Structure 1
Amino acid sequence: MNRRVPLSHRLGIILTLFFIACSNSQEHDVESTTLATVGNVKINTERLQRAFHALYTNPSERTSINERKSLDRLIDIEVLLLEARKRNLHNDIRVKNKVLETEQELLLEELFKRGVVSGNENVTTEEAREYFDRYHIKEERRVSRILIASPTGIDRVFQRTHAGEDFAAIAIDLSEDGETAMQGGDIGWMSRLSFKSHILRRQVFNTPVGELLGPIQEPDGYSVMKIVDTRNVSFESAVASVKEVMVKQKQALATFEFLENLADRVQIREHAEGIQLLLTRLSQAGKDTPEFKRGELQQPLFTVEGAKWTLEHFMNAMHSERDQAEIRTVDDLRSYAKRLYAFKVQLPKYGREQGMLEIDTIADALRRVEREELLGRLRDQEVIEQIDFDESDEREYFRKNKDRYTRPERTSILELLVDDRDQALKLRTQIEKGGDFDELARRYSKRSTRIRRAGGRIQLLNPDKYGKLGWEAKDAKVGEIVGPIKTNNGYSIFKVLKKIPEQEVEFEQAVGRVRAHLRQDLSEDYFVEFVSELRRQYKDQIVIYEKNLKAHQM
């Protein structure tokens, strides 16, 4: 089967070329260096070289054929942008919001550079230790996740978990997260520093080990999480991360102070009824998105210089923030709403007054972001939103590509891990003389609490990914005791309990992966067809100067 380039990767290549090229989209008319024009945009030799070297990093690939392919990619970009502008997508709300968000971030960065906003970036080790202790950073949770694109697919997940099936096996079969599905959904160890959402942070650390959490609505779908394990880490291993977070928090506090001062510069008239209604809806929703009755979103929170800032303005502003505040009281809401207003309305106005939007680096960045968003929005309209398939299409795709869908090899072992080789040898001797492997693992293994409580039982999915331990387990016979072997974590002794070879799966077990792969392949097909159609549609605006190109390649 031919391997496809995922649409996300293909678009990533286009955006990479776009990033390289955007500062050169309006070139001086130097005829000998102009290789092509699309509309009024010139593609010159310098731009082509940047694209060529970005796409083909291996010198052996830098051929004239591939250079021509690079030129075609650049033409594709300009044709896509012509179509996006023709559709007036620069006025699309998603495009405008992304540009505005970037503008706000860049303005804040510039204010920090100028010293207008300043936060103390020095964090002492003593301060970091106090933070580490106060906020329980030593505790970490190992989390696994099953991602499903639609809420209806979540029912299938819970049906299988309620039937007692292994969460990792369900993740392999159903999860649409390409990065973690084949690892049984494992997303690794997470501390309280790993979460921007205070709601999700609280849920993860309040859920007992072994329990499920969800469904949780995420940007890419709905997820069910399992708290797999817990452990404590040392301050020394976390100090760098703690200091980094503390610096960001100090900068955030300085930003809050600046935004509050901006808000104080204008006459803000609060509407108590709107503020109380918003607090009520937020409280009722808890971790979910608030629901409003008809007409409620049009109620004002503030009136500033005759203009009303409504509940709808607030909700749109809040949803665009990656780190939303925890709101419990009217004062919390009042303060947060004023900061949001200053950030979304007053800050851009202040930046324009100070001439910051005319700074080359800021202006170039905003142009680049707008063009990237135009490409992305056009892709959504013509590719993502046009994809439509049903179960019969999924089953047919599964039939044609059945070799892609297997349950990976699994090896179950009892394992005991210690720091010292001599201790490992003594423990192996005890086991060979009839010692209880389970009990010795509980007493001496340095593995996690969960594994120790399970008597050292570990299931190795795809043993090769576990390094030397996995390789040795793969070669060992069932019932054989192996070790001590040196691993990155110490010296390991293990006994193989069971081996399950790689197995083909039925459609119902692989439907999540099938759906993700089919969507990816259709996206690629639609995208190629769309770009080809645009090349035909705009052919009169595309000029390639073959003579200049040939001279450039000599």
Structure 2
Amino acid sequence: MMKLKFGYLVNNIYKRRILMRKSILLVSMFVLFLVIVSGCSQKVNDKNILASFDKQVILADELDKEISELPEWKQDKYKDQAGREEYLTLMAESRMILQIAKERKLEKHPTVVKELKEFQDQIMRDKLIEMEVDNKVKVTDGDIEKYYAENKDKYVEPDMVVVTEITQKDEEKAKAVLEKIKAGADFTELAKEMDSKGESYGPGSRNGGKTAPFSRDSYSSAREFVEKAFSMEVGEISDIIVQPLGQETYYMIIRLDEKIPSRQKELSEVKDSVKSTVESEMKDARKAQFVEELKKKMKVQAFPERIPPTPEVKEGEKAQTEQGEVKSETKTESEAKTDTKSEKKKAEKDVILAKIGKQVITLSELEKNISEMPEWKQQRYEGQEGRKKYLNELIEEKLLLLEAKNRKLDKTPELAKQIKEYRDQLMLKELVKQEVDDKIKVQDADIEKYYNEHKKDYIDPEKVTVTEITLKDEEKAKEVMEKIKAGADFTELAKEMDSKGESYGPGQGNGGQTRPFSRDSYSSAREFVEKAFSLNKGEISDIIVQPIGQETYYMIVRLDEHTQPRQKELSEVKDDISWTVEREKKRERIEQWLEQIKKERNFKIYPDRIPKPKEEAKPSEEGTPSQGGQTTEKSAETKQNPEEHQSDNQTKSGVSDTDTKPKE
């Protein structure tokens, strides 16, 4: 029974989410059930038939088997009677749809054939590597110990230090802090105090200024800080360290708390890492050995020297080519050179670069393969050396595939099942494309109609823009408010505090000014939002106490702009509407198609015949009463009509065999 990932078909078949519940469930079933029962020669008790279409039936034991094969978290969804009925419906729909795909012979569709071949080739190569490499590499404790002994230098913990730091964005403030320290202030307490107020910005932030141990290779973008830390003695306090970081400059004062000398890590500490490294190296070596064995066996000949150098394009010519400005030669000149160039090009493309038994790899094949790769991958094989690298990889791929075919790995039950499942998946993908995607066209008229009918959904809401100053310390917020009341320019004050990293609101990094926001914005800061919308333009608020999580902020805001709701133009929302209309059309189409084929194929569900879940009906040991003091319902039924149950079991055995090997 095939089980496929839901995401694959959603992404590759529909390209869009289908919101309606039934459609989503149908897609899920495309993924979950891709099996068709060819019929059963034995007579089946009608009570066991839970669903039917055409000449196909779904039996009670099949439903239980399907659900039991789901992940446990999915099984929970189908434990009750309603869930089992839902699952049965989707199961039957899926089988019916796959039957249609087979009737249309979609396994012969060019896209299906191409993608299936690629998949089949890949899993055959993977299986061969599993057999000849993965299963033959065994890492022993001796291997691990030997590698560790020979590579001890790779497992050395470097010198490390721990510091306590105070980091400021404002140089004058950093100087004031340093003066306090020189005057006798306790460095630890000062660092903790500034960190608790959010006034320190270094690597010890939120830990009282104390860093975790770090090495010389840490903080690669803050070299001045690192070098100074490693140059100090324990207990020593630095002067101000000027540390550029991106477009910012920080002013740091640090105290060295601890020096941790380098040490050799014990094998017990790194055993898992060493094992992984050894295993990887052993597999690489085994794979290389196996490929060499195949090369000798199949008498591979490679001619990488025949790969021509990649023609160099001069900068001027390249620029002209990109702009489409390169002028063609005159017709006479072109005709004079055509034959020579054509023959030369053809000869180059037909150059044999490798022989693998009776197969050959030509330059044209090499170039074609590379041209079909994504652009990022093509860059890996640029130039003559890149082509040579790809030639080696291509030889290896073909060798592995030939050997896998010689061993008939695609005929093994494991791979045969995977190939069948993937083929069914591709057939369904193509069927839905034909019946849904290809029949949906979104016209401008559809978009305009939807827009006119749903204008209320495309209204830009009422918004405000504010400038804010947000602090973590209430007393400091009161000081700022006094400055504003005394006539300080609010804009300049907000900019100054933001530049020093002393303000923490939504306008941070923009001089305190926010972007326009609606009443639905900042859901965790409702006091701030409500106050902003209650102000008049230019009005400055009192201090707003704003709890967020475990923190409390003190905000002062000024309303800069208040815009009223407006109707968005069609041009602004056209793409969004196109997506919505397409999704709706696909939903309608898939519902219509499903109902149509159900009628044509006499699709029927018999929910009243669905047996209760086995866990509910499971008899207690040796027929003893269950915890409730009564025998289970299933046990009672068995005693009442043992012949009927015997008949059912015989039927189930027959169906199981048929289901395992369905007629194609």
Equivalent residue number for residue 72 of structure 1: 89
Mapped to 1, the partners of 2:80 and 2:479 lie a distance apart of 59
Higher mean displacement: 383-392 or 30-39: 30-39
Is the Cα–Cα contact under 8 Å of residues 107 and 356 in structure 1 kept in the other structure?
A: yes
Q: Tell me the equivalent position of 1:443.
A: 500
Amino acid of the structure 1 residue aligned with 2:29:
L
Q: Which amino acid aligns with 1:438?
A: K
Q: Report the equivalent of 2:44.
A: 31
Q: Tell me the equivalent position of 1:336.
A: 390
The structural deviation recorded for 1:314 is 0.7
Pairwise CA distance, 1:376: 1.7
What secondary structure does 1:376 align onto? helix
Whether contact under 8 Å (2:308, 2:384) holds in the other structure is: yes
Q: Which residue is 1:314 aligned to?
A: 369
Q: 1:347 to 1:90 in 2, by over 3 A?
A: farther
CA shift, 1:469, in A, is: 2.9
Offset, 1:395: 0.8
How far residue 522 of structure 1 moved from its aligned partner, in angstroms, is 1.2
Q: Structure 2 vs 1, CA of residues 37 and 446 (structure 1 numbering), >3 Å: closer, same or farther?
A: farther
SS of residue matched to 2:101: helix
Distance change >3 Å, CA 101–CA 475, structure 1 → 2:
farther
Aligned to 1:94: 111
The alpha-carbon deviation at position 511 of structure 1 amounts to: 0.7
Worse-matched range after superposition: 345-354 or 330-339: 345-354
Corresponding letter in the other structure for 2:44? E
1:9-24 mapped onto 2 (5 Å cutoff): 13-22=25-34
Structure 1 distance, partners of 2:110, 2:311, is: 24
**Cα separation, 2, equivalents of 1:254 and 1:279:** 39
Alpha-carbon distance between aligned partners in 2 of 1:391 and 1:467, rounded to the nearest angstrom: 37
- The separation in 1 between residues aligned to 2:443 and 2:353, in whole angstroms, is 48
Give the counterpart letter for 1:552 in structure 2. Answer: I
The answer to whether the 8 Å contact 2:50/2:609 transfers is no
Stretch moving more, 100-109 or 397-406: 100-109
Q: Which residue does the alignment assign to 1:198?
A: none
CA distance in 2, matches of 1:106, 1:480: 68
Normalising by structure 2, what TM-score? Answer: 0.49
CA-CA distance at 1:384 after TM superposition: 1.3
Question: Taking structure 1 as reference, are residues 459 and 550 closer, same or farther at Cα in structure 2, changes over 3 Å only?
Answer: same
Partner of 2:456: 403
Q: Is the 8 A contact 2:304 2:388 kept in 1?
A: no
How far is 1:331 from its partner?
A: 1.4
Q: 1:284 to 1:455 in 2, by over 3 A?
A: same
Displacement, 1:519? 1.0
How far does the alpha carbon of each residue in 1:81-115 deviate from its partner, in whole angstroms, 9 at most, with x for none? 22222333223343345445555665677678668
CA distance in 1, matches of 2:287, 2:393: 9
Deviation at 1:500, TM superposition (A): 3.6
Partner residue of 1:485 out of 536, 539, 546: 546
Aligned residue for 1:550?
608
Change (3 A) 1:40 1:336: farther
Distance 1:471 1:368, change over 3 A: farther
The reply to whether residue 414 of structure 1 matches residue 471 of structure 2 is no
- Contact 2:30–2:94 at 8 Å: present in 1 too? yes
The equivalences for 1:128-277 within 5 A come to 258=287, 262=291, 265=295, 267=300, 269-270=302-303, 276=309
Superposed counterparts of 1:282-297, under 5 Å: none
Give the CA deviation at 1:523: 1.3
**SS in structure 1 of the partner of residue 466 of structure 2:** strand
1:529 is matched with which residue?
Answer: 592
In the superposition, the TM-score normalised over structure 1's length comes to 0.57
Q: Separation in 2 of the partners of 1:255 and 1:519?
A: 49
Which amino acid is the alignment partner of residue 528 of structure 2?
E
Once the two structures are superposed, the pairs formed by residues 358-397 of structure 1 within 5 Å of their partners are 362-397=415-450
State how far apart, in whole Å, the 2-side matches of 1:399 and 1:502 are. 18
**Bigger-Rg structure (1/2):** 2
* 1:25 CA displacement: 5.8
1:515 deviates by: 0.8
1:94–1:407: structure 2 CA closer, same or farther, 3 Å change rule?
farther
Residue aligning to 2:224: none
Change (3 A) 1:79 1:315: farther
Partners in 1 of 2:24 and 2:311 — Cα distance? 40
- Residue 444 of structure 1 aligns to a residue whose secondary structure is coil
Closer, same or farther: CA 393–437 of 1 in aligned 2, 3 Å:
same
Tell me: CA distance 1:306–1:46, structure 2 relative to 1, closer, same or farther (3 Å).
same
SS in 1 for 2:515: strand
Q: Distance in 2 between matches of 1:105 and 1:43?
A: 34
- 2:577 aligns with 514
- 3-state secondary structure, aligned to 2:434: helix
Task: Tell me the amino acid that sits aligned with residue 374 of structure 1.
Answer: M
Name the residue aligned to 1:142: none
CA contact (8 A) 1:412 1:459 kept: yes
Name the Cα RMSD after superposition.
Answer: 5.5
Partners of 2:128 and 2:404 within 8 A in 1 = no
Equivalent pair of 1:397/1:514 in contact (CA under 8 Å): yes
CA spacing shift, 1:323–1:489, aligned 2, 3 Å: farther
Question: CA shift at 1:400, angstroms?
Answer: 1.9
- The C-alpha deviation readout for 1:431-460, integer Å capped at 9, x for no partner, is 565351122112115779x96542133326
In the alignment of these two chains, the number of paired residues is 418
CA distance in structure 2 between the partners assigned to 1:101 and 1:340 by the alignment: 14
How far off its partner does 1:516 sit?
0.8
AA of the residue aligned to 1:487: I
Structure-1 residue corresponding to 2:336? none
